[in-house]
Amino acid sequence: MKTLVLLIIIWPLIGFLINGLFGKWTKNYAGIIAASALGLSFLSAVYPIWQVILGNIYDYVYFTWMPLGKFSVPFGLRIDSLSAVMLFVVTFVSWMIHIYSNGYMKGDPGYARYFTYLNLFVFSMLLLILGDSYLLMFVGWEGVGLCSYLLIGFWYDKKTASDAGEKAFVVNRIGDAGFIIGVLFILFNFHSVTYADVFPFVHQVLTPETATIIGLALFLGAMGKSAQFPLYIWLTDAMEGPTPVSSLIHAATMVTAGVYMVARSNAIYDMSPIAMEVVASVGAFTAFYAATMALTHKDIKRILAYSTLSQLGYMFIGVGVGVYWAGIFHLMTHAFFKGLLFLGAGAVMHSMRGLLSTDLMGGLKKKMPQTAILMVIASLAIAGIPPFAGFFSKDAILAGALEMGHPIIWIVGEVTAFMTAFYMFRFVFTVFYGEEKVPNLYHELHVHEAPKVMTIPMWVLGVLSIIGGWVGLHVSGEIPIEAFIARTAPTLEVANEAHYSEAFLMGFSACVGLLGIFTAWVIYIKKWITAESIANTFKPIYTLLANTYYVDEFVYFFIVKPFWWVSEFFLWKIVDVKIIDGGVDLFGWISKRIGWLFRTLQTGFVSHYAYWISIGVMLLTGWYLVRII
Amino acid sequence: MLAAYMFVSVLLFAIGATGAMIRRNFLIVLMSLELMINGAGMALIVMSYFTGNISGQVMFLFVAAVAASETAVGLAIAAMMYKNKKSVDINDYTTLKK
Amino acid sequence: MNQLHFPILSTIVFLPVIGALLVSLIDSKKETAIRWVTFIVLLLDFLVSLPLFFYFNSSTYQMQFVEKVPWISSLGMNYYLGIDGISLFLVLLTTFLSPIAQLSTWSGITQKTKEFNIVLLLLQTGMLGVFVSLDIFLFYIFWEFQLIPMYLMIGIWGGPNRVFATMKFFLYTFFGSVFMLVALMALYFLHHAYYHEYTFNMVTLMSQPLPANLQFWLFIAFALAFAIKVPMWPFHTWLPWAHVEAPTAGSVILAGILLKMGTYGFLRFNLPMFASMTHQFVDIILIISLIGIFYGAFVAMVQPDIKKLVAYSSVSHLGYSMLGMFALTTIGIEGSIMQMINHGISTGALFLIVGIVYERMHTRNISEYGGLASLVPIFSVFFMIFTLSSIAVPGTNGFIGEFMVLFGTFESHKVFAIIAAFGGLFAAVYMLTMFKRVVFLKPLNPKLLKLTDFNLREWIYMVPLVVFVFWIGIYPNTFLSKMHASVNHLIEQTKITNVNPNLNGKVSFDNKVIIKKSGLKG
């Protein structure tokens, strides 16, 4: 078993090494190698996951990684119910996306390099979720960040792509600093960073203040990785990467790491109401804020990116109000349907030769029927229509928020749910329904349905987008997924838990979703009200949204630029060159000047020297005489 | 008695020093240097005699030997210098300044 | 204690001198032969130094592989060599980096090859001598000795501004050394005044500290010499000059080893010998280190010259090293030593990388590069690895050092560690911006198109560095386990502020007292 658990993370590493070292030779087989590595990884994971469902927990230590004086950080892997869910999602979705990538990336000059990075990513991601200590999680955490950097900048000769990759890495580093600070506090207080040494002792060791500091520091990390306000700015730019990457890294797996981390640290968060409040509020704000930006965007990938931000916000509401299982549940269903949405967008891009604007699309259903159906399924799932997957998880989060006593967050959540349904179906209707907007464009581009290697993984995710939420149904008095996740991350216990009719809440949520779809139908299919007229009526708001609140511009002109300017023109050219180095040179200059002064004594006439010598002798003798007398 | 001997030795030294400073012909300068050394040497001998300590006289032997070799080297340099510049005026030799 | 019963340290130190003599016998026109001989000597030196690692007894803090021969007994000088867990890795780092640096010169140095290799060999002796000397007089001799080859290396084989750079480097470091010399002498006499024994023995001096009030000026004088060498902000301005003008091998050795002499000096002198002053100066030095971390990063960010960028990044990296050291915790100091080794490996490697393209393109301007990834992929991969190591991505060596430093600092000074944690952010900014502009994007400069990728020689000297990047990153215990005893002992020493209770320290700096006490009558 110990070996089997290790094998889960070793397979992608092997794939990485093969493609990385011998990419020149594996060239056309790189995709197959990578996908089989993932398949093997998934198969290795099945049995441990099953055992965990049966009630086992695995925690194996392989070697001591970092000895720190009295304590040490082991390299150990842990599978419990929380990591089992993540393990399933990551290995399975990654596998699907690897298969899909075989078709999508065909013919790209960087084919082997792409799969090298992708395997490295899965390795890091697995390390993140299976690592049995915070520090090992951090290794995976930075590792996935690195792969994200590499994959966003995959087409490195495009300046926008390289810039986006760098931006992602740097913004993430802000969060990482927070994570590291959290780890330092944990290590300092618990003398260990292993989960097994931390969580059982939280109440003995931590004061609420310390718990708040740790919680907030860790959440700063989560904000970076999971792109929460205000550290979300990298995620939309991250769409410069290949679309399967957006699907895998920037929707299904990596960006959800923050949610996983907060759920993992539930014991610490439970002690700190302040930290939880911050998590839930930031989540709610991001959910709403990102959804508003998705309303007006015309770039299909960016619509999905904002939608991802918004859904991540939901997950943080879930873990922030204390219903950890709901957050993780939504993470799982989101991985299915958002992964699918991106793959669908990728299929569209693939046949549209990389065109992204909804202005150029319309009526694609005729050309790409399978993709269209799948996109509708995924959109229904994200819009929260029963019995699709997203309905159950989103409902669990919102009901949880209400029960835990956060009515405002609930309202924000429902409003966001309406917007979600609206913008997703705006997307579906404008891209797949209606008429072809640019005549003959499809004909010229030879728009066609995606090949099988791409549609099959999409279908698999499509099925999961439907049935994936059914683990959230009541079965004999309990919800299976809740019971399962609560083994590791028990729901926060609050004194006066509010109770609401579950049926009513579910019905309400479903209605909100349907209303959103109806609104989109009215505007984009029936055209009773045109989008243009709405945009014209609310011109200032529309402009603000269409420019995504000018946040990027703000960051550039008020943070990046001044920072650069101060570094270059003040710190370097003035402080360093003029003041510090100038000071050093001044020292040399003074010595030289003094030398010049004495140089005038150096006449070159021997007699003058002799004269000075005799004066010196006289002075010395005189001084000596004075002393002895 | 000591004072008289010491007076002679200081006088010798002073004449030598003055000569070394004011004369421009470097042969004369070398001779003046010789005078200075002998002045100092005389002081050594005198002191040795009056204190009954032999080491002063021994030291003079050393000084005399060094003075002789110094003169030899000095004259050799002087000869070379003369060869180069055809001049015995030390004020023509100010290249150390440059 | 010498477990090998063989003067292995002397062999390591003086083997390069023998090599230099050998090289001097070769006809200067036979450049290949000279390079081979030098390389083999340096490689041999590395191989000879390996037993140090394998026979090292990690359970004791005592000096090991000791050689002690009386030298000038009447003055208490000995030819006294030995290493402990602190200097072990610096010695190994030196012997490891030198053959690599030498290999990089095979195509870079075409003028006065023979002289260059002789200088390189002598430099090796000087550096090793510094790390193994346990007699402060001997230490000082080596300390000054290694300046001369470095001075020549920059001054003769350097870039267009080499004379200015080398003068600045030499005078600045020498300025510091002079203070050290004065302090050494003061230490020598003061020690006699209190313990009635003239000794230059480092171990004795460490174990018999002076009264607190006497340590003040000594600490400052030593600290000044070492701070210039490290270099700590604001004594760093010689470094960019020296690096930019030095030939590749010079930069590698300068960054990889010479700078470590400063940090090593702090560990050997300031911490154990002036423990009570160390505690008083902790805050100042921590603040300066923090400034260095951020200042180095900010200034590195806007450098148009790759080498200058890496030079300023050294200021930032060694800021971490100093931070961990003056946290005065076991983990902090071990992290500091790790950081020294890591900096030697990754910054050394970055200079080699820069050297490789510089040899082909004759420019170090970032703006003239771009798109190397598509032109020289192998080069780019190596560049990436060292970039990541430099910004401390977990799994590489940089992370181990940085995390240990942060945690070590956190144990004693929380706020400093929290601030320092954000330093990694700026490291990412400057390294990745540079990396993007050099390796990514489109190759706009037509000259770039004729770039060639790694040749065999370059493969040979880059691969070992990569191995160590990951080895230290994944299994640092190999290295850390050797340090524990020595570092713990050092921590003990910093806690002792006054060994002899009878020494009340009323003796002031009045020289008459010293003279009277030491029996040196006028």
Is the per-residue pLDDT at A473 higher than 60?
Answer: yes
Question: Residue C476: closest CA among chain A residues belongs to which residue?
Answer: A66
In this prediction, residue A542 has a pLDDT band, given cuts at 50, 70 and 90, of confident
> What is the C-alpha separation between A561 and A557, in angstroms, rounded?
5
What percent of chain A has a predicted confidence (pLDDT) above 70? 100
Highest mean pLDDT among A58-62, A545-549, A607-611: A58-62
Distance (Å) from the alpha carbon of A612 to chain B's nearest alpha carbon: 10
What percent of chain A has a predicted confidence (pLDDT) above 90? 45
Is the per-residue pLDDT at A574 higher than 70?
Answer: yes
With respect to residue A464, please indicate whether it lies within any of the assigned structural domains: yes
CA distances from C158 to A565, C151, C162, C239, C241 (A): 31, 10, 5, 14, 11
- Computed over every residue of chain A, the mean pLDDT equals 89
In this predicted structure, what is the pLDDT of residue C520?
44
A window 157-196, beta carbon within 8 A of C: 157, 159, 162-163, 165-166, 169-170, 173-174, 176-177, 180-181, 184-185, 187-188
For residue A559, give its domain range: 553-628
With respect to residue B96, please indicate whether it lies within any of the assigned structural domains: no
CATH number at residue B48: 1.10.287.3510
Of A47-61, A542-556, C172-186, C251-265, the one with minimum mean pLDDT is A542-556
pLDDT tens readout for residues C372-421: 888 898 999 999 999 999 999 998 999 999 999 999 999 999 999 999 99
Is the per-residue pLDDT at C17 higher than 90?
Answer: yes
A window 239-278, beta carbon within 8 A of C: none
With respect to residue B27, please indicate whether it lies within any of the assigned structural domains: yes
Distance (Å) from the alpha carbon of C474 to chain A's nearest alpha carbon: 7
pLDDT tens readout for residues A300-316: 888 999 999 999 999 99
pLDDT tens readout for residues A307-359: 999 999 999 999 999 899 999 999 999 999 999 999 999 998 888 887 788 77
Question: Residue B95: closest CA among chain A residues belongs to which residue?
Answer: A604
A370 and A404 housed in the same domain: yes
Contact check, Cβ <8 Å, A607/B22: yes
pLDDT tens readout for residues C357-379: 998 888 888 988 888 888 898 99
Q: What are phi and psi of C377, to 5 degrees?
A: -60, -40
In this prediction, residue A536 has a pLDDT band, given cuts at 50, 70 and 90, of confident
Q: Is some CB atom of chain A closer than 8 A to the CB atom of B36? A: no
CA distances from A617 to A607, A621, A622, B13, C104 (A): 15, 6, 8, 13, 58
Q: Which chains pack against A, by 3+ Cβ pairs within 8 A?
A: B, C
Instruction: State whether residue A412 is helix, strand or coil.
Output: helix
Residues of chain A with Cβ-Cβ distance to B17 below 8 Å are: 610, 614
Q: Is some CB atom of chain A closer than 8 A to the CB atom of C484? A: yes
In this predicted structure, what is the pLDDT of residue C220?
92
With respect to residue A189, please indicate whether it lies within any of the assigned structural domains: no
A520 and A568 housed in the same domain: no
Q: Do chains B and C touch (3 or more CB pairs under 8 A)?
A: no
Residue type, A90: V
For residue B50, give its domain range: 2-89
With respect to residue B47, please indicate whether it lies within any of the assigned structural domains: yes
In this prediction, residue C511 has a pLDDT band, given cuts at 50, 70 and 90, of very low
Is the per-residue pLDDT at C320 higher than 70?
Answer: yes
The answer to whether C241 touches C169, Cβ cutoff 8 Å, is yes
Tokens 């999508």 correspond to A104
In this predicted structure, what is the pLDDT of residue A178?
93
In this predicted structure, what is the pLDDT of residue C515?
44
In this predicted structure, what is the pLDDT of residue B98?
57
Residues of chain A with Cβ-Cβ distance to C58 below 8 Å are: none
A567 and A511 housed in the same domain: no
Q: What is the mean pLDDT of residues A416-445?
A: 85
A569 and A524 housed in the same domain: no
In this predicted structure, what is the pLDDT of residue C502?
54
Q: What is the mean pLDDT of residues C236-249?
A: 91
Residues of chain B with Cβ-Cβ distance to A618 below 8 Å are: none
A482 and A598 housed in the same domain: no
A473 and A517 housed in the same domain: yes
In this predicted structure, what is the pLDDT of residue C55?
92
Question: Residue B91: closest CA among chain A residues belongs to which residue?
Answer: A605
Distance (Å) from the alpha carbon of B59 to chain A's nearest alpha carbon: 21
Residues of chain B with Cβ-Cβ distance to A611 below 8 Å are: 21
A470 and A584 housed in the same domain: no
Question: Which residue in the set A602, A603, A607 is minimally distant from B21, CB to CB?
Answer: A607
Number of domains into which chain B is organized: 1
In this predicted structure, what is the pLDDT of residue C514?
45
Residues facing residue C72 across a β-bridge: C77
pLDDT tens readout for residues C167-185: 999 999 999 999 999 999 9
**Cβ partners under 8 Å of residue C67, min gap 6:** C2, C7, C9, C10, C79, C80, C81, C82
The answer to whether A494 touches A402, Cβ cutoff 8 Å, is no
A–C: how many Cβ contacts below 8 A?
Answer: 127
Question: Which residue in the set A177, A566, A571 is minimally distant from C425, CB to CB?
Answer: A177
Contact check, Cβ <8 Å, C403/A580: no
Q: What is the mean pLDDT of residues A10-38?
A: 87
Contact check, Cβ <8 Å, A607/B97: no
> What is the C-alpha separation between C438 and C451, in angstroms, rounded?
13
Q: Is some CB atom of chain A closer than 8 A to the CB atom of B84? A: no
With respect to residue A377, please indicate whether it lies within any of the assigned structural domains: yes
Residues of chain C with Cβ-Cβ distance to A10 below 8 Å are: none
In this predicted structure, what is the pLDDT of residue C512?
43
Q: Is some CB atom of chain B closer than 8 A to the CB atom of A603? A: yes
Question: Which residue in the set B20, B21, B94 is minimally distant from A604, CB to CB?
Answer: B94
**CA-based R_g, chain A, Å:** 31
Q: Is some CB atom of chain A closer than 8 A to the CB atom of B31? A: no
Distance (Å) from the alpha carbon of A603 to chain B's nearest alpha carbon: 6
Q: Which long-range contacts (CB under 8 A, 24 or more apart) does B91-95 make?
A: B91/A605, B91/A607, B91/B24, B93/A604, B93/A606, B93/B26, B94/A603, B94/A604, B94/A605, B95/A604
Comparing CA positions, the residue from A340, A342, A478, A333 lying closest to residue A394 is: A333
CA distances from C499 to A156, B52, C205, C338 (A): 62, 53, 11, 30
Is the per-residue pLDDT at C140 higher than 50?
Answer: yes
> What is the C-alpha separation between A279 and A269, in angstroms, rounded?
10
In this predicted structure, what is the pLDDT of residue C500?
54
Q: What is the mean pLDDT of residues C235-255?
A: 92
Q: What are phi and psi of C65, to 5 degrees?
A: 55, 40
In this predicted structure, what is the pLDDT of residue A350?
85
The answer to whether A210 touches A268, Cβ cutoff 8 Å, is no
Question: Which residue in the set C168, C298, C388 is minimally distant from A146, CB to CB?
Answer: C388
Is the per-residue pLDDT at C507 higher than 70?
Answer: no
In this predicted structure, what is the pLDDT of residue C111?
86
Interface test with B, best of A599, A602, A605 (most B CBs within 10 A): A605
Q: Is some CB atom of chain B closer than 8 A to the CB atom of A604? A: yes
Residues of chain C with Cβ-Cβ distance to A181 below 8 Å are: 417-418, 421
Contact check, Cβ <8 Å, A176/C424: yes
Query: Where do the structural domains in chain C lie, given as residue ranges?
Result: 274-498
Residues of chain A with Cβ-Cβ distance to C417 below 8 Å are: 181, 184
A288 and A367 housed in the same domain: yes
**On the CB side of A203, how many CA atoms lie within 13 Å of its CA?**
2
Is the per-residue pLDDT at C522 higher than 70?
Answer: no
Domain boundary (A498, A531, A564) is at A531
Residues facing residue C135 across a β-bridge: C201
> What is the C-alpha separation between B90 and B77, in angstroms, rounded?
12
Number of domains into which chain A is organized: 2
Contact check, Cβ <8 Å, A604/B95: yes
Contact check, Cβ <8 Å, C484/A69: yes
Q: Is some CB atom of chain A closer than 8 A to the CB atom of C301? A: yes
A window 104-143, beta carbon within 8 A of C: 135, 138-139, 141-143
A510 and A567 housed in the same domain: no
Q: Is some CB atom of chain A closer than 8 A to the CB atom of B22? A: yes
pLDDT tens readout for residues A135-178: 999 999 999 999 999 999 999 888 899 999 999 999 999 999 99
Q: What are phi and psi of A72, to 5 degrees?
A: -145, 160
A319 and A404 housed in the same domain: yes
pLDDT tens readout for residues A192-248: 899 988 999 998 888 999 999 999 999 999 999 999 988 999 998 888 889 999 998
